[in-house]
Homo-oligomer: A and B are copies of this chain.
Amino acid sequence: MNALIVYAHPEPKSFNGALKDLAVRFLTEQGHQVQVSDLYAMNFKAVADREDFVELSNPEFFKYQLEQIHASQNGLFSPDIAAEMEKLRWADFVLFQFPLWWFSVPAILKGWIDRVFAMGFVYGGGMWYDKGGLKGKKAMLSLTTGGPAHIYSKDGINGDIDQILFPIHHGMLFFSGMEVLPPFIAWSVASASDEQRERYLEEFKQRLLTIESTEPIPFHPLSHYGENLQLKDEYKD
């Protein structure tokens, strides 16, 4: 298996760094090929703008998605974006390692999505959801939180973690064609004991050992939607 780890944390000594290091070592030991995009170390450009293209089709009126299509057709992405796209093409499994900041990914990782998941590459022209450009690949989030698990529940003050991650799981990863494995979450790591951290590392290993046998989150494929892209009656909750 070819595994790409997209890692977003500014401090190598952090628990996120430890989880990333463990994934690299453990996946390699299991005989997988591993590449890492360490976004902070790469000083990855987070902001989608004109500089993302070697040449623009319309410099007078900058439309990001139209330039993405044009760049997809003509090989005009900036080298940093093209390199990440190459890693994605190569990967069978993509692991995202990050701290949950403001109930979402850190800006540097959002920028990676904004820029690399380009129209014409992962979606557009009939490519989306289970027909997305990244079809056949698996993805998994591995994240740390500030608060404990019980406050990220339906009646907990922060709300249900599945609802919080829905825009990422369904809107970014499944939208692009990937099967999305349930997330690995290390809760409240800043206040966790050393023993708890060891347990998290052990649990994470188990998750990495069972990537191929883990059932993805059961999102609806395109075939479940009918007229006006509404869920057909037989698939409604």
The reply on A86 being an interface residue by CB < 8 A is no
- Whether B10 and A157, one on each chain, are in contact in the complex, defined by CB atoms closer than 8 angstroms, is no
Q: How far is the CA of A148 from the CA of B102 in the complex (A)?
A: 27
> Which residues in window 166-213 of A have CB below 8 A to B?
166-168, 170-172, 175, 190
Contacts of A166 in B (CB 8 A): 159, 163-164
Known: A104-B104, A107-B114. A157 touches B171 (CB 8 A): no
- Whether B104 and A167, one on each chain, are in contact in the complex, defined by CB atoms closer than 8 angstroms, is yes
Task: Pick from A25-33, A87-95, A132-140, A227-235 the stretch touching chain B.
Answer: A227-235
Most chain B beta-carbon neighbours within 10 Å: one of A49, A62, A114, A167: A167
- Whether B172 and A64, one on each chain, are in contact in the complex, defined by CB atoms closer than 8 angstroms, is no
Known: A10-B50, A49-B40. A229 touches B114 (CB 8 A): no
Contacts of A190 in B (CB 8 A): 63, 65
Q: Smallest distance from the beta carbon of A188 to chain B beta carbons, Å? A: 13
Q: How far is the CA of A172 from the CA of B171 in the complex (A)?
A: 19
- Whether A102 and B110, one on each chain, are in contact in the complex, defined by CB atoms closer than 8 angstroms, is yes
- Whether B164 and A171, one on each chain, are in contact in the complex, defined by CB atoms closer than 8 angstroms, is yes
Contacts of A49 in B (CB 8 A): 10, 40
Return the contact of A46 from the options B103, B108, B150, B230 (Cβ within 8 A). B108
Mark A39-51 against chain B: 1 for CB-CB distance below 8 A, else 0.
Answer: 0100000111110
With CB as the reference atom, state the residue of chain B lying closest to A13: B61
The reply on A72 being an interface residue by CB < 8 A is no
Mark A57-94 against chain B: 1 for CB-CB distance below 8 A, else 0.
Answer: 00001111100000000000000000000000000000
Mark A217-237 against chain B: 1 for CB-CB distance below 8 A, else 0.
Answer: 000101001001111000010
Taking Cβ atoms with an 8 Å cutoff, the residues of A that contact B are 10-11, 13-14, 40, 46-50, 61-65, 101-108, 110-111, 113-114, 117, 129, 146, 150-151, 153, 155-159, 163-164, 166-168, 170-172, 175, 190, 220, 222, 225, 228-231, 236
Please give me the 10 A-B residue pairs with the lowest Cβ-Cβ distance, nearest first.
A103-B171, A107-B111, A103-B167, A155-B231, A46-B46, A107-B110, A157-B229, A11-B62, A46-B107, A110-B110
* 7 A-B pairs with C-beta separation under 8 A: A46-B46, A46-B47, A46-B111, A101-B114, A153-B230, A155-B231, A167-B167
